[in-house]
Amino acid sequence: MNPVLLSIILIPILEIYLFIKIGSQIGAFYTILLIFITAIIGIFYARYEGLNTIKSGFTQIVKNEVPAYEIISGAAIAFAAILLIVPGFATDFVGFLLIFPITRKLMFGNLLKKFKKKEVNRNNFIDGEFEDIEDNDDRKI
């Protein structure tokens, strides 16, 4: 079965199950309040982390380096913000995992190492000297 179709079916089932279980423990009002609180806190923290990622990306560009981690991190933060806006506890959990920098580095560390290896190989260059020769000069190549 297609993984996207399977996730479209299973994620709402998991969310409904968690709503029922958590709602039976803390009550319906507090469950709804918890959903709104996690969404608000998540959006503000996503905004904060997104701005930090943009600053870090500009720093990498100024250093004449490719901001690979910042690009991946920015996409992860945007996806995490979407997950935090969608009501549900499982999506909030995954969203918070993607927003925190420590867990983002753990998740995307291997991908970043592969990109850094390619970048090191690309920076090879040959050092040499040159001399400008005028067109009317007697010495031609």
Of the candidate ranges 9-18, 69-78, 129-138, the one whose mean pLDDT is the lowest: 129-138
Q: Measured between alpha carbons, how far is 84 from 78 in angstroms, rounded to an integer?
A: 10
Contacts of 16 (CB under 8 A, 6+ apart): none
> Is residue 36 very low, low, confident or very high in pLDDT (cuts 50, 70, 90)?
very high
22 versus 130: the higher-pLDDT residue is: 22
Q: Measured between alpha carbons, how far is 22 from 27 in angstroms, rounded to an integer?
A: 8
Domain regions of the chain by residue span? 37-122
> Is residue 58 very low, low, confident or very high in pLDDT (cuts 50, 70, 90)?
very high
**Does residue 68 carry a pLDDT above 90?**
no
Count CB atoms within 10 A of the CB of residue 80. 26
Question: 83-121, pLDDT tens digit by residue?
Answer: 998 999 999 999 999 998 899 888 887 777 776 665 545
> Is residue 135 very low, low, confident or very high in pLDDT (cuts 50, 70, 90)?
low
